[in-house]
Amino acid sequence: MNKQQHITKVLSRARSLRAAKDQPGQLHSYREFLTGEEQRLRLFHAQGAGGVEFANARAHVIDALLRNLFKNACSFCLGDRPRAQIPLLMVATGGYGRKELAPFSDIDVSFIHEADKPQDKDAVERIVQQILYLLWDIGLKVGHFTGTFERSFEQAQADVQTKTSFIEARLIQGDRKRFDRWRQKFRKKVIEPGVDGYIQERMLDRAARYQKYGATVFMQEPNIKNGCGGLRDYQNILWMADV
């Protein structure tokens, strides 16, 4: 079975998830889904799938889980109110945004919104809490951010790791036009004014890694992620090229 066939079957099984009326019922359903999909991923790898294929397929599994969680949280928190009325985006960032999700790695997800009315702010808070609590109860490690457009820009300007993770942002659930507008503003307000500074920060990051892990490829026990010529160097090139 190739990767696309595997992903198609994952999406089909995710659609068969039924929304339980209570949280314990939802938790059981999601745990069962995730346990089954993780077992299938191991078989997919054992049958010859490479590391990149595996990481990409696992990202699709988490996508399917999060989309279902989002829809059920909206139904639970909003009642009869249409989901489209809530100006909320659920966005994958970092390695998850790249669809490179290794086993046991954190799930980095951001909840970015334009809620200004009190009832919308309250709805966003309840939806996000519902999703995060279930993710934690399922047993996933989650790195998360919640805030308005402006708050996300401020956070990215203050922290280079956040800025980098937002460069790789990918929409999971929410209005596509709103997401595209956020991305355009992010590049205009955060990336374009600070290209030289960002490249300098990435070069400083490289120097710090080399100091810690070695500045030569001729290491007997190289750190293949952070060492010289490793995965992080490759990603650094992509990030600098992107800006």
What pLDDT, on a 0 to 100 scale, did the predictor assign at position 76?
A: 83
In terms of pLDDT, which residue wins out, 4 or 228?
Answer: 228
3-state DSSP assignment of residue 80: coil
Q: Which CATH class is domain 3-174?
A: alpha beta
14 to each of 7, 144, 148, how far by Cα in Å?
A: 10, 23, 30
Which pLDDT band, with edges at 50, 70 and 90, does 23 fall under? low
Tokens for 195?
A: 């290209």
Tokens for 159?
A: 């922290």
Give the CB-side neighbour count of residue 32, counting CA atoms within 13 A.
Answer: 11
Question: Treating both helix axes as pointing N-terminal to C-terminal, what angle do 195-213 and 231-242 enclose, rounded to 10 degrees?
Answer: 170
E strand or H helix at 88: strand 88-92
pLDDT tens per residue across span 58-97: 999 999 999 999 998 998 888 777 777 889 999 999 999 9
Name which of 5-14, 126-135, 140-149, 168-177 the model is least confident about: 5-14
Which residue, 237, 132, 112, 120, is CA-closest to 186? Answer: 112
In terms of pLDDT, which residue wins out, 123 or 81?
Answer: 123
Contact 168, 94 (CB under 8 A): yes
Contact 69, 27 (CB under 8 A): no
114 to each of 52, 54, 79, 203, how far by Cα in Å?
A: 35, 35, 20, 34
Q: What is the mean pLDDT of the segment spanning 156-184?
A: 96
Query: pTM score, two decimals?
Result: 0.89
Q: What is the mean pLDDT of the segment spanning 208-225?
A: 92
What pLDDT, on a 0 to 100 scale, did the predictor assign at position 30?
A: 87
The one-letter code for the residue type at 49 is A
Tokens for 89?
A: 């985006």
Is residue 220 predicted with pLDDT exceeding 70?
Answer: yes
Mean pLDDT value across the chain:
90
What pLDDT, on a 0 to 100 scale, did the predictor assign at position 14?
A: 65
